[in-house]
Structure 1
C-alpha cells in the first residue's frame, strides 16, 4: 500500500466503528421503533447496550494493549464490528438485537482506540484523517437510507443493516491491511506511567462529550421526523441533514488544521466542543429546515474533532509507550458517558413528554465539557511536573 493511502485506508476502521455501527443506528432507529413498537427508553437502551460493549472493550484495551499490541486489537475489533452489523439484520428479537449491538460496540472500542494510536504514529494529519473517516459512513447512510425507508417502509430496517454490513466488509479489509504497514507503537509487556491527574480537565471533558453528543446523534432524526410538518418531506430533510453531517466531517480537518497544529493544551478540544454545543442547541431555537441543516453543518464540522483533539493532546504530551494506555483510559471515560447518554435522554423525554427537553439537556452538557477542556494546560507548564523533571 502506498504511504499516502495508509491514513485513508485506516480511516475505514472509523467509518465501520462509528459512521456505520454507531451513527447509522440513528437513521434506522425510527423504522425500528415503528416496526418493533419501541418507546424512547427502549430505543435508547439499544444504543446504551452498544455503549456498554464499547465501555467493556475500552476497559479491556487498557489491560491488553501492552500485551497484544494496537494492530492486533484494531484488526480484531473491525472484524467483530462488521459481523455484528450483519447479524443485526438477521433478527427481530429484542434480546438478540441487544446482544449484537453490544458486540458491535465491543469491537468498535478496539478499532477506535487503537486506530487513533496507530494514526498518531503517522502524524497529526493522519490523526484527523482517521477520525474524520466516520463521515464516510454518515455520508453513505444519509444518501440512501431515508429514501429506502420512504419507499419500502419501516419493515425494511433489517435490509438496511445487511446493506451496511456488506459495505463494511471492503472497508474493514482495507483498514486491516493499512494497520499492518504501521510500526507498532507499543512494546509487548511494557507500559509507561503518565500523570493522569494533571490531564483531568481533558479527560473529564471527554466524559461529558460522550454523555452529551450521543443523545443528539441517537435521537435527532426522530426529532426531525416529529417536527417536519409535511410528511412527504421527512426523507429529503433527514437525507440532506445526514449528508451534510457526513460531508462536513470530511472537510473538518482542513477547517481546524491551524488551531490544532502545534497546540498541546485543551484549546482545540474546547473550541470544537463549543461549536458542537451550539450546533446541538440550534434546532431547538430554530425548529425549521434551515435550523436543522445549519445544525448539521456545525455538528458535522466539530464532532470528530473532539476525539482528534484528545489524541493530539496525548501524542504531544506523553511518551510513545503511554499512548495506548492513555487513549484507552480516555475512551473508557468517554464510553461511560456515552453509555448513560441515550437512556438518560430517552428517560427525560418520556417523563416530560418532549424529546426537545432531553436534547436541550445534552446541549447543556456539551457546553460544560467545552468550559472544562479550556482549563487544560500543556503538561510541561504544570509546576509540580516541571519541578519533578
Structure 2
C-alpha cells in the first residue's frame, strides 16, 4: 500500500467507530424516538450504553495492549463494531438495541485507541488525518439519511442502520489492510512504567471533552426539529448542517496543521476545545439557520482535533512503548465523561422542558475543560518521545 495512502486507509476505522457508530445515532435518533416512543432519557440511555461499551473497551485496552499489541485489538475492534451496526438494524427491541449499541462501543474503543497509536507511528500529520477520517461517516450520513427519512418516514430507521453497516464493511477491510503495513510501537509483552500525575490537566480536559461534546452530538438534530427554519424543508436543514460537519472534519488537518506542529503542551487541546465550545453554544445565541450552519462548521472543524491533540500529547511526552497504555488511560477518562453526558443532558432537558438547557450546559463544560487543558506543560523528562 502506498505510504501516502496509509493514514487515510487507517482513518476508515475512525469513520466506522465514531463517524458511523457514534455520530450517526444523532441523525437516526428522532426517527427512533418517534417509532419506539422514547423519551429523552431513554434516547440518552441508548447512547450511554454505547459509551459504557466504549469505557469497558478502553479499560480492557489498558491491560491487553501491552500483552497483545495494538494491531490485534485494532482488527478485532473494527470487525465487532461493523457487525454490531448491522445487528442494530435488525431489531425493534429496546434491550437488544442497548446491547448492540454497547457492543458497537466496545469494539470502537479498540479500533479508535489502537488506530490512533498506529497512526502515531507514521507521524503527527497521520494522527490528525486519522481522527479527521471520522468526517467520512458524518458527510455520508449527513448527505443521505435526512432525505431517507423525508421520503420514507420514521419507520425507515432500521434501513438506515443496515445501510451504514454495509458501507462500513469495505472501510473496515481497507483499515485492516493498512494496519498490516504499520510497525508496532513496542513489542507485545513489554511493560513500560510512566507517571500520570504530570499529565493531569490534559487528562482532566479530555474527560470534560467527553462529558460536554456528546450532548451536542446526541441532541442537536432533535433541537433542530424543535426549532425549525422557516421556508426550508427540515431534511435540507439537517443534511446541510451534518454535511458541513463532515466536510470541515476532513479539512481539519489543513486548518490545524500549524497548531499541532512541535507542541508538547496543552495548547492544541485548549484551542480545539475553545472552538468546539463556541460552535456548541452558537445555536443558542443565534437561533437562526445561519447560526445552526455556522455551528456545524465550527464543531466539524474542531471536534476530532481534541482526540488528535490528546494522542499527539501522549506521543510527545511518553516513551514509545507506553503509547498504547497511555492513550488507553486518557481515553478511559474520556469514556467516563461520555457515559455521563447523554443521560445528564437528557435529564436536564427533560427537567427544564427544553433541549437548549442541556446544550448550554455542554458548551460551558467544554469551555471549562479547555481552560484546564491550557495549564498543561510538557512532562519534566522532556517533550521528545522515546
After TM superposition, the score normalised by the length of structure 2 is: 0.98
Per-residue displacement from partner, 1:230-282 (whole Å, max 9, x unpaired)?
48621000000000000000101101101110011000100000000000000
Distance 1:338 1:34, change over 3 A: same
The corresponding residue for 1:346 is 346
Supply the distance in 2 between the matched residues of 1:147 and 1:43 (Cα, whole angstroms): 22
Contact 2:77 2:106 in 1 (8 A): yes
Supply the distance in 2 between the matched residues of 1:179 and 1:50 (Cα, whole angstroms): 25
Contact 1:274 1:370 in 2 (8 A): yes
Supply the distance in 1 between the matched residues of 2:232 and 2:316 (Cα, whole angstroms): 50
Contact 2:229 2:237 in 1 (8 A): no
The corresponding residue for 2:357 is 357
Deviation at 1:380, TM superposition (A): 2.9
Deviation at 1:30, TM superposition (A): 0.4
The corresponding residue for 1:104 is 104
Supply the distance in 2 between the matched residues of 1:172 and 1:191 (Cα, whole angstroms): 29
Deviation at 1:191, TM superposition (A): 1.8
Deviation at 1:120, TM superposition (A): 0.2
Deviation at 1:36, TM superposition (A): 0.4
Contact 2:194 2:318 in 1 (8 A): yes
Supply the distance in 2 between the matched residues of 1:202 and 1:215 (Cα, whole angstroms): 21
The corresponding residue for 1:368 is 368
Supply the distance in 2 between the matched residues of 1:91 and 1:109 (Cα, whole angstroms): 24
Task: Give 1:170-249 correspondences, 5 Å limit.
Answer: 170-230=170-230, 233-249=233-249
The corresponding residue for 1:33 is 33
Moved more, 266-275 or 180-189: 180-189
The corresponding residue for 1:256 is 256
Supply the distance in 1 between the matched residues of 2:234 and 2:218 (Cα, whole angstroms): 17
Supply the distance in 1 between the matched residues of 2:348 and 2:317 (Cα, whole angstroms): 39
The corresponding residue for 2:93 is 93
Moved more, 226-235 or 206-215: 226-235
Supply the distance in 2 between the matched residues of 1:198 and 1:233 (Cα, whole angstroms): 51
The corresponding residue for 1:43 is 43
Q: Secondary structure at the match of 2:325?
A: helix
Supply the distance in 1 between the matched residues of 2:229 and 2:323 (Cα, whole angstroms): 49
Per-residue displacement from partner, 1:272-299 (whole Å, max 9, x unpaired)?
0000000000000011100000000100
The corresponding residue for 1:15 is 15
Supply the distance in 1 between the matched residues of 2:181 and 2:343 (Cα, whole angstroms): 40
Supply the distance in 2 between the matched residues of 1:141 and 1:186 (Cα, whole angstroms): 36
Supply the distance in 2 between the matched residues of 1:206 and 1:165 (Cα, whole angstroms): 29
**What is the number of equivalent residue pairs in this alignment?**
383
Contact 1:65 1:186 in 2 (8 A): no
Q: Secondary structure at the match of 1:316?
A: helix
The corresponding residue for 1:123 is 123
Supply the distance in 1 between the matched residues of 2:112 and 2:276 (Cα, whole angstroms): 20
Deviation at 1:229, TM superposition (A): 4.6
Deviation at 1:63, TM superposition (A): 0.2
Per-residue displacement from partner, 1:181-210 (whole Å, max 9, x unpaired)?
100113121121112001000001000000
Contact 1:70 1:186 in 2 (8 A): no
Supply the distance in 1 between the matched residues of 2:232 and 2:241 (Cα, whole angstroms): 15
Q: Please list every run of 5 or more consecutive structure 2 residues that lacks an aligned counterpart in the other structure.
A: none
User: Could you say what the CA RMSD is over the residues aligned between the two structures, in angstroms?
Assistant: 1.1
Supply the distance in 2 between the matched residues of 1:63 and 1:314 (Cα, whole angstroms): 17
Supply the distance in 2 between the matched residues of 1:231 and 1:102 (Cα, whole angstroms): 39
Contact 1:54 1:109 in 2 (8 A): yes
Contact 2:244 2:296 in 1 (8 A): yes
Supply the distance in 2 between the matched residues of 1:229 and 1:358 (Cα, whole angstroms): 21
After TM superposition, the score normalised by the length of structure 1 is: 0.97
Supply the distance in 2 between the matched residues of 1:321 and 1:231 (Cα, whole angstroms): 56
